[in-house]
Amino acid sequence: MNRDLLRERREWLLRRNCSLSPQQMGMAYAFMCLFSFAVATGFMMIGMWQVLLFTVLEMTAVAAAFLYFARHATDYEHIVLANGKLLVEQVSAGKMSVTQLELYFLRLQMPARYGDLIHLESKGVAVEIGYFATDPRRRALAQELRAEVQGGLFSN
């Protein structure tokens, strides 16, 4: 009985694998700007001022890409299986959505092709999970979820 109590709640946390901190991203951008504008200044001194315009355009595009990366660096999915319910919390660009699914009516659709997500549906409420998992990890997660749900450990 003690073992069943320990397994009353299962959780999975899927998040992006970000190798640079925001501070490191800022430093990388500063060094790129320093180098690019130094080269552009050299060309400007010999009369090729157009290089400076392209450098400004290039650094603006890189800044936009870095901002997009930073905005999504903390995205995650938190999946909790407890008390006969499956709770899916998804955060993307700082916006959180929470979906609650009843286990008794849950339909789990395994990924059919490479890159497909896990589709969950219960009582007309649907959600897809596995955005931040590799394909093998996504399949393993789907199998774990299916085993937990079919195991009946979480019925009321």
Tell me the per-residue pLDDT of 54-97, one tens digit each, with 9 for 90 and over.
Answer: 999 999 999 999 988 888 888 999 999 998 899 999 999 889 99
> What's domain 2-16+75-151's architecture?
Roll (2.30)
Global pTM value: 0.73
DSSP string covering 75-94, please?
-EEEEEEETTEEEEEEEETT
Domain limits of the chain? 2-16+75-151, 22-72
Tell me the per-residue pLDDT of 101-135, one tens digit each, with 9 for 90 and over.
Answer: 998 899 999 988 998 999 999 999 999 999 999 99
